[in-house]
Amino acid sequence: MPEQTLENQISRGRAAESFAEDPVFTAAVERVRRRAVEDWQATRPDDVAGREQQHALLRALERVLSEINTVVNDGKVAQSTLARRKQRAN
């Protein structure tokens, strides 16, 4: 992989990690998660669609968090790859 692409992945990974660790973001995620669970628990027994909606919301939230984590990990792999290349070049 070209060095420029690796550097781009490293940059994106660092940005994603910073975003994922941001207190405002983590608090928002927890509020959304908590609210979805509370709304799910408050559904009537016959409100299948309501429970499905909350389940879908939680799955979507987890998918977003997983994607952020993937970008973070890709950046770490790129960092390691670039470091190995530079070490071999010396």
Q: Look at residues 87, 37, 42 and name the one whose alpha carbon lies nearest to residue 61.
A: 37
For residue 90, pLDDT beyond 90: no
Q: What is the mean pLDDT of residues 25-42?
A: 98
Q: For residue 81, what pLDDT band results from cuts at 50, 70 and 90?
A: very high
Q: What is the mean pLDDT of residues 14-24?
A: 97
| pLDDT value at residue 2 | 72
Query: 58 and 33 in contact (C-beta within 8 Å)?
Result: yes
Q: What is the mean pLDDT of residues 48-76?
A: 98
State residue 42 phi and psi, 5-degree precision.
Answer: -85, -5
Burial class (CB in 10 A: 0-12, 13-18, 19+), 78: buried
Query: Who contacts 43 (Cβ-Cβ below 8 Å, separation ≥6)?
Result: 50, 51, 54
Q: What is the mean pLDDT of residues 7-17?
A: 96
